[in-house]
Structure 1
Amino acid sequence: GAEVDKNANDLYGCFDLSNSITVVRNLPSVTNKIKAKLYPIPAKNTIHVALETFEKGRINMVLYDFAGNAILNKTKQIENQKTSLDVNTIQAGVYILRIRNENGKSVSKKVTIF
């Protein structure tokens, strides 16, 4: 039969090798996302941010390198769904910009700075 350290290819007949399992997939809620457009990409001095699904209020923007280190962290008050981020002092490279509002809605976007 089915013994420890034996090859399953050597088994013949009907075997019950494990209990059945049920897989339940929970899709992330669309309501926890902010839709954002960043421009220009690649950016040189400033990244402009257009927040399409955002109420006015405070947002936090964190720029991460690919090692997960926070390079830049800014909190701003938003009134008209638009803001900008000064990246003039950031070294050229590819980064992840995470934008989060006070209600926990967030979005992460890849940005290139040259």
Structure 2
Amino acid sequence: MASPNNGWVFLYWTEEGAIISNSPEYEFMLSSDKLLVAHFAPVQVNINVNIEESQAGFVYGGGVYNYGDNVILEAAPVNGYSFAFWKENGQAVSYDASYQFTAQQNRDLIAVFQVTSNVYYVMNISSIGNGYTNPPSNQYTHTAGSVLMLEAYPVEGWIFESWDVNGTTFKTQNLQINVGENLNVTAIFAMATSIPDVEESQEINVFPNPAQSILNISLSNYNGPTSIEIINLQGQTLQTLNNAYQGAGESISFDVNDLKPGIYIIRIINQGKITARKFTKS
């Protein structure tokens, strides 16, 4: 019989390299000399680490360990934060950023950081094209960890295109930002009337145009998730259909009864590519 020590598990018996039993109790008839080997393995322990506020810092050391291994977890705050404590099941278990313990059971640990007082970051807000932002274009100072909402509003004849935040593009018109560094933020607007039509024989076929009640849209050469939007010349999104897919000969229909007579834009977003087509509501 094979009995594992604490922190180990029995695997199997072998004889001359061949597995002969997976049971710790192995019965057999002894008719000759035998050399049996019991194989054991350490119990594996999962150490999961997370951060209470993801923008506040980084954690290291989580993973799979053998029972009895020495575990060292490290918590590193970003600028504007300091480490507070490690917690488990809602209770603080260590106030050291470098937390050491012996792996004996699965654990889920969370690093808690706190905002450091008197740390500030500068945010410059500007715009390209005709539109305005809230907060308005200017330079602002915010404490580290502040959560801000940026809003962009195009003027008539223009549409919102994107936000540029330190070189990263965001398509969300109302954008939430967690302040953890100096920020250069630009709202980008484009002329709605400058969006070129796409020939019907190419990618977008809109019919009837003008449309009175139902507008049909047929796409070609589109693969993967596709979003279709109807926007007005003020840049407001009026209808959205996400994850639309067009098969050969199929079309998507929009009910445009509630739209006021005028010019509107169909915007197609597919794999980072944006195409558009104007149509008239009669």
For the superposition of Structure 1 and Structure 2, which TM-score range results when normalised by the shorter chain?
A: 0.5 to 0.7
Unaligned stretches of 5+ in structure 2?
A: 1-201
Q: 1:59 aligns with which of 212, 220, 226?
A: 226
The CA distance in 2 between the partners of 1:58 and 1:47, in whole Å, is 21
Say which structure is richer in strand: 2
> For residues 38-93 of structure 1, what are the alpha-carbon distances to aligned partners after superposition, in whole Å with 9 as ceiling and x for unaligned?
111001111111112112x4321111111212222222431415322221221211
Match of 1:38 in 2: 206
- CA RMSD for the aligned pairs? 1.9
Q: How far apart, in 2, do the equivalents of 1:86 and 1:58 lie?
A: 22
CA shift, 1:36, in A, is 0.8
Residue aligning to 1:23:
none
1:105 to 236, 260, 273: 273
**TM-score of the superposed pair, with normalisation by structure 2:** 0.26
Question: C-alpha separation between the residues in 2 aligned to 1:78 and 1:105?
Answer: 15
Name structure 1 gaps, 5 residues minimum: 1-33
| 2:244 alignment partner AA | Q
Question: In 2 relative to 1, CA 89–58 (structure 1 residues): closer, same or farther, beyond 3 Å?
Answer: farther
Task: Give me the whole-angstrom Cα distance separating, in 1, the residues matched to 2:252 and 2:273.
Answer: 17
TM-score, with length taken from structure 1: 0.59
SS at 2:263 equivalent: strand
**Which among 220, 234, 245 is matched to residue 78 of structure 1?**
245
Percentage identity across paired residues of the two chains: 25
Residue 256 of structure 2: aligned partner: 87
